[in-house]
Chain A
Amino acid sequence: MSLQDYRLTLSSVIIEPNWTSSPETLHGVVSYASPYDDVPVEQFNNYQHVVDQDFANDYILKYFSSFSKVKSNSIDTGLLSPGLKAIGTNYIIFEKPPCFKNIFYVPSSKHEVTEGLENQHIFRIPIPWQLYFVKFNKDMYTYEVRMFFMKTSLTSVDQELFLPSLPNFYTNAMLCPPTMDKMDDVDRYSKNHAGVMQCAYDWVWNSGTNHDLTEACLQVPFQLNQNDSILKHLPQLIYDNYFKYDGISSRHSSRYSANFKQIVHLFTAWEKSSLFEVCNLSWPNISGSKSNFSYHDIESDIEGYYDHLYNFISDQDEDQSLNEDDINYMIENGDYNSEDYYRYLRANNLIPSLPPVPWEKTYLYSDILPDLIKSVHSDLGYFNSNLAHDINCINLNT
């Protein structure tokens, strides 16, 4: 038997309901021919088969489901908590209203967190509307969570989404997945959409917070005026000391990584805000599809940026150990502290104007979600079906 012999025939018998009410007379029929004829189905000649009616009904429904206006799910969702905004084959989008949440912050990285959590700080902070984008695999296991802040409940695809200023988030609002000690922590959620929602929520709020990924926190002082943000509750002296923006970074941090005290001050100020206030304050913009804000392009865009680099490096070389070739080598390889150089340029008034900032763009729901939904396809490697595949699937399932 050759490939040419593949044949799949799907038929459905419609009985006019006005002259019969017998449900048995309504049926779907799937018959097929394939090179694999050692299957336990009824045969009506040498190699053609017809499957039983229940399987046929289900098969035909699924076979044509992609032509429906509303896509169907492979399983029932389970009882969902309110707030579902969109649902797809392997993703779910839902929102949660403003509320107070406890943050259990441990000022160490994931690998340094000790069992006793002696250094744990607990903050009770008000949070605004949140939108969650969750990816899950075909077995209904959550594998990626994003959370955005919003000023109101999501009512339109043109609504703005903001960055949650919390540790463990990339600046594209993706959560660094928590590490689970026990398989039970991974497996305890029901294997449906309700379970996925619960799991995503727990990943964000009930898995602890450590000092990994703090760039999102730094975006508050970088992007916003003090009085428009939760930092308005900080004493001026502390704000000036820890968060004052001097172009790209403050004295106390790099652009990508906050120090422990900055995080504590941020949460201390945040705790002093009311629920009403956080719903009306400004929040930072996200970095689009990139997981970090990129400053490199900005620097190279500044006219005359490199003109003073040689002098900067040689000024830094207090014991004059570098020769000209060494300095040129360092310039070529970017082997210098770019933040210090940036401060040097500003302090000596060597650049004409402030550079553009990478967070100028505000992202809407409709800007972000199309690519995120597409990314699910590439994550899971969706298989393109064809006739041979469909027939083999029947063989496997009958």
Chain B
Amino acid sequence: MEQLIFDIKQEESTFYNFTTEIPRSWKDLQYYAKSAGVVVPFYHKLTIKKVFTIPTSNFYQLKNKLSLDSFKNHILPMAVRYITKDNVYVIERPPFQLEVDYRLGGAHSYNSKMPPVKIWVPWTVMIFSANSLMNGDFSNVKLYFNSGPLDSLDQQLVTCFYPNTHSDAKICFSTSLNDFNNILDLSQIEQGNIGYIYNYIFNNYMMGGWNSDLSQNLFDNFRSVDQDIINKNCPTISLFLNPTSDPVFYKKLSLVFPKKYFGRIKRYFLDKVNLRSISREKYYARNFGIFAAFTLEQTIDFIKEIQYIISSKNSYNKPTLDNILKNFNSNLVYFDSSVSNPISGIGLVTKILHPSIEYDYLQCKVDLFVINDTEHDPREYYDKQALLPLNILSEMNYKLIDFLNTRQSDEHIAFIYDYSSNTFDVILNYDSKEYIKDIVLSAHSGISQYCEDNPSKPNTYALKSWIMKLDERIEQYQQLAAV
């Protein structure tokens, strides 16, 4: 666990970094002790670092200056249609034609490429967190299709079904973006130029070359839909599923690819073919052929009919723009630790370059013991400090900060947190070596006693052998405490 703390006082503000380690050997001790009915407290080593100090007036001066709007030397990309207060952007793009660059295999395969075809890309809606992109995180960019411009938050969007898109619409970018420092103009990123980065990632996806690493997100749309409904209400999907049903269209389709290549895949266009049985590579190629034969109008109708099918399904969480944005935000808050959560704010302060900042990296280590917790299994690797009630955590933080700033060189303290009463005590003049030795020896005697009392219990053999190892390692525990 890591904790970032920004402590602002009237005169000066200080940034601290707390980290917690749970010694692995201690977990074994707890586990075996528990097996013998002996309770051993949870043990954490907290490392507190004082990173920098800045006069509070200077910090606020900087904060106030940065909070004012200033002229940006760039403009937003075409058709930004929505921005959430968490800086999630929704950017729309009208249809355009694209020459498909598609490898009939995985990214690292040597398979040949499909002969290039030109397709109409329908209306696209890209959704991303601007904060993530500006921090170099491209993992949360989603791409959807639409049959026209967005006109409501209730509009159903269709997950992009081109290659290299996950089923949740997240784009799987090429590895070139892993090292974007060498590709992108970082000054544009520093200035927060959304247009620059949007254009880059959109082009990177559309024209960076596709492969068959991921399955196509198309079948899900038709799954469990009555064929009669498709035949009756969705003529373009019907044509997509059975392109031979319209001889004129099929003739056009047959001219999309070179004759030889078309001959190799033409059986996949037949009415009776089971699309699920076609390999991923061939399935993409088949569909690109049909998309290339589609006019713009047919492409739009295809999306419109998928939207019709989605809207007619009794799904609880339909992919409306509104729902997508709600889910996008909650995902960010909980799982995207690099970006849009409270932590990122404090992290941003560490990037301040200000002449009045004093870096000192003062540091100390403090032990934390959690007692009377019979609820959690030590093997689950529970981080007790993370689970502390906020007021306890906060109060403990204050004590740690005060201790760090006032301690003598040979002074140590430890915290004892009582899980059952939700209180904590501070051990002053703490001697870690003695304290830990007492716990270990007490556990040792408790386990030994258990083995003597229960010679035939199934765990006794394992406990005995562990006790033997423990005898050898008691010295190590004592050394650990002294670190």
What is A's interface to B at a CB cutoff of 8 Å?
3-17, 19-20, 23, 25-29, 31, 42, 44-45, 48, 50, 52-53, 56-57, 60-61, 63-80, 82-91, 93, 154-157, 193, 366, 369-370, 373, 376-377, 382, 384-387
Q: With A66-B67, A382-B68 known to touch, is A29 a contact of B390 (CB < 8 Å)?
A: yes
A93: chain B residues at CB < 8 Å are: 75
A42 touching B391 by the CB < 8 A rule?
yes
B397: nearest residue on chain A (CB-CB)? A11
B349: contacting residue among A4, A15, A19, A67, CB under 8 A: A67
B394 touching A70 by the CB < 8 A rule?
no
A7 touching B9 by the CB < 8 A rule?
yes
B394: contacting residue among A9, A382, A385, CB under 8 A: A9
Q: A12-B345, A25-B383, A382-B68 are in contact. List 17 more A-B contacts (CB 8 A).
A: A4-B10, A9-B5, A11-B5, A11-B6, A15-B386, A29-B393, A52-B390, A53-B390, A61-B342, A70-B192, A72-B86, A76-B84, A82-B92, A84-B76, A157-B73, A373-B71, A387-B60
B345: contacting residue among A61, A84, A91, CB under 8 A: A61
A44 touching B71 by the CB < 8 A rule?
no
A69: chain B residues at CB < 8 Å are: 131, 134, 189-192
B342 touching A44 by the CB < 8 A rule?
no
Chain B interface, DSSP helix/strand/loop, else mixed: mixed
- Cβ of B177 within 8 Å of any chain A Cβ, yes or no, is no
B394 touching A61 by the CB < 8 A rule?
no
Pick out which of these stretches binds chain A: B148-156, B228-236, B259-267, B409-417.
B148-156
- The list of the 3 closest CB pairs from A to B, nearest first, reads A64-B345, A28-B342, A12-B343
Report the minimal beta-carbon distance from A53 to chain B, rounded to whole angstroms: 6
B349 touching A73 by the CB < 8 A rule?
no
Complex formed: what's the CA distance from A69 to B390 in Å?
30
What is B's interface to A at a CB cutoff of 8 Å?
1-10, 56, 60, 63-64, 66-76, 78-87, 92, 130-131, 134, 149-153, 189-192, 194, 321, 333-335, 337, 340-346, 348-349, 351-352, 381, 383, 385-387, 390-395, 397-398
B85 touching A74 by the CB < 8 A rule?
yes
A65: chain B residues at CB < 8 Å are: 67, 345
A384: chain B residues at CB < 8 Å are: 60, 64
B9 touching A70 by the CB < 8 A rule?
no
A50: chain B residues at CB < 8 Å are: 390-391, 394
Number of A-B contacts (CB under 8 A): 229
B60: chain A residues at CB < 8 Å are: 384-387
A15 touching B1 by the CB < 8 A rule?
yes
A386: chain B residues at CB < 8 Å are: 60
Report the minimal beta-carbon distance from A223 to chain B, rounded to whole angstroms: 27
B383: chain A residues at CB < 8 Å are: 15, 20, 25
A74: chain B residues at CB < 8 Å are: 85
Report the minimal beta-carbon distance from B331 to chain A, rounded to whole angstroms: 10
A57: chain B residues at CB < 8 Å are: 333, 341-342
B69: contacting residue among A53, A56, A377, CB under 8 A: A377
B149: chain A residues at CB < 8 Å are: 82
Report the minimal beta-carbon distance from B83 to chain A, rounded to whole angstroms: 5
Complex formed: what's the CA distance from A322 to B385 in Å?
96
Complex formed: what's the CA distance from A397 to B104 in Å?
58
B78: chain A residues at CB < 8 Å are: 82
B86: nearest residue on chain A (CB-CB)? A72
B9: chain A residues at CB < 8 Å are: 6-7, 387
B1 touching A73 by the CB < 8 A rule?
no
Complex formed: what's the CA distance from A154 to B81 in Å?
17
Report the minimal beta-carbon distance from A16 to chain B, rounded to whole angstroms: 7
Q: With A64-B345, A67-B348 known to touch, is A31 a contact of B85 (CB < 8 Å)?
A: no
B337: chain A residues at CB < 8 Å are: 14-15, 17, 26
| 8 contacting pairs across A/B (C-beta < 8 A) | A15-B337, A25-B383, A67-B348, A70-B131, A72-B85, A80-B81, A86-B75, A376-B69
B189: nearest residue on chain A (CB-CB)? A69
B1 touching A7 by the CB < 8 A rule?
no
B343 touching A70 by the CB < 8 A rule?
no
Complex formed: what's the CA distance from A63 to B346 in Å?
9
A67 touching B351 by the CB < 8 A rule?
yes
Complex formed: what's the CA distance from A89 to B335 in Å?
28
B381: chain A residues at CB < 8 Å are: 19
B87: chain A residues at CB < 8 Å are: 68, 70, 72
A3: chain B residues at CB < 8 Å are: 10
Complex formed: what's the CA distance from A267 to B3 in Å?
67
B64 touching A80 by the CB < 8 A rule?
no
Complex formed: what's the CA distance from A65 to B344 in Å?
10
Complex formed: what's the CA distance from A301 to B8 in Å?
58
A88: contacting residue among B69, B84, B189, B192, CB under 8 A: B69
A86: chain B residues at CB < 8 Å are: 72, 75-76
Report the minimal beta-carbon distance from B60 to chain A, rounded to whole angstroms: 5
Q: With A76-B84, A80-B82 known to touch, is A16 a contact of B334 (CB < 8 Å)?
A: no
A366: chain B residues at CB < 8 Å are: 71, 73
B88: nearest residue on chain A (CB-CB)? A76
B382: nearest residue on chain A (CB-CB)? A20
Complex formed: what's the CA distance from A67 to B152 in Å?
33
A76: chain B residues at CB < 8 Å are: 82-85
A23 touching B334 by the CB < 8 A rule?
yes
Complex formed: what's the CA distance from A79 to B151 in Å?
8
